[in-house]
Amino acid sequence: MEPVPGKEIALRVSGMISPKHQVHGFTVDLTVKSVHSIDPVGRVDFGGSEYSAAGKLPIAAQRRNMEDKYHWWDLGRGSYFVEFNETVELADDEFGYIEPDDRLIRAGATHAPFYLRGRVASLETLLTVDAVRLQIKQNARIARIRVFRAGAATARPAPAAASKPAAKSSRKKK
């Protein structure tokens, strides 16, 4: 398994706001497109016949100042669905790992890291806010993706043959 460089990951990610700022050595930042509160009822059963995803209620973003180009979401403590601007399409031998950005964690929120495979048209996560309030600006970078390629098993060197004594030099010592 080998990590894929950020410039290669960028070829698999659509919808980036600013590749110049989002592409790094071995990661690509993911940005916030929309935030939804959770409709309080979801259901999970053994067989799946009674499964029901929790609903999503859109949260309107607000301007903090009249001259602001982008809006902000003002979130209280709790859980929210966050949809990212980016979509991902990975090769069959690749998998992606989505993890929270360090700044998000230091601001008092996080999301569970998760793996993905294939094409993910609508990339989202469940954001948990532990701070009393968290303000998120539209297009904020809150997560990153790392991509790994599952290569063929690396060839191991053959065991060393029994050591033979080094050949003696034909030069005579003086």
Domain assignment present for residue 35? The answer is: yes
Report yes or no: 4 and 93 within 8 Å, Cβ to Cβ. Answer: no
Range 126-155 average pLDDT: 90
Q: Quick check: helix, strand or coil at residue 104? A: helix
Range 136-165 average pLDDT: 74
Domain assignment present for residue 169? The answer is: no
Separation between Cα atoms, residue 115 and residue 147, nearest integer Å:
9
**22: enclosing H helix or E strand:** helix 19-22
| CATH number (domain holding residue 28) | 2.70.40.10
pLDDT in tens, 13-61: 999 999 999 999 999 999 999 999 998 889 999 999 999 999 999 999 9
- Scored b (16 or more CB within 10 A) or e, 63-81 reads eeeeeeeeebbebeeeebb
pLDDT score recorded for residue 26: 98
pLDDT score recorded for residue 42: 92
The DSSP symbol for 40 reads S
Domain assignment present for residue 112? The answer is: yes
Residue 65 pLDDT > 60: yes
Q: How far is CA 91 from CA 8, 77, 87, 117, in A?
A: 12, 38, 14, 8
Range 127-138 average pLDDT: 98
Domain assignment present for residue 52? The answer is: yes
Name the domain count of the chain: 1
Separation between Cα atoms, residue 154 and residue 164, nearest integer Å:
28
Percentage of the residues of the chain whose pLDDT score is greater than 70: 87
pLDDT score recorded for residue 115: 97
Question: Residue 64's Cα: distance from chain center in Å?
Answer: 28
Return the number of other C-beta atoms located less than 10 Å from residue 35's C-beta. 20
Domain assignment present for residue 156? The answer is: no
pLDDT in tens, 69-90: 999 999 999 999 999 999 999 9
pLDDT tier at 168, thresholds 50, 70, 90: low
Percentage of the residues of the chain whose pLDDT score is greater than 90: 80
pLDDT score recorded for residue 156: 42
The domain of 81 spans 2-39+48-149
Domain assignment present for residue 57? The answer is: yes
Domain assignment present for residue 174? The answer is: no
Domain assignment present for residue 105? The answer is: yes
pLDDT score recorded for residue 163: 46
pLDDT score recorded for residue 155: 44
pLDDT score recorded for residue 152: 58
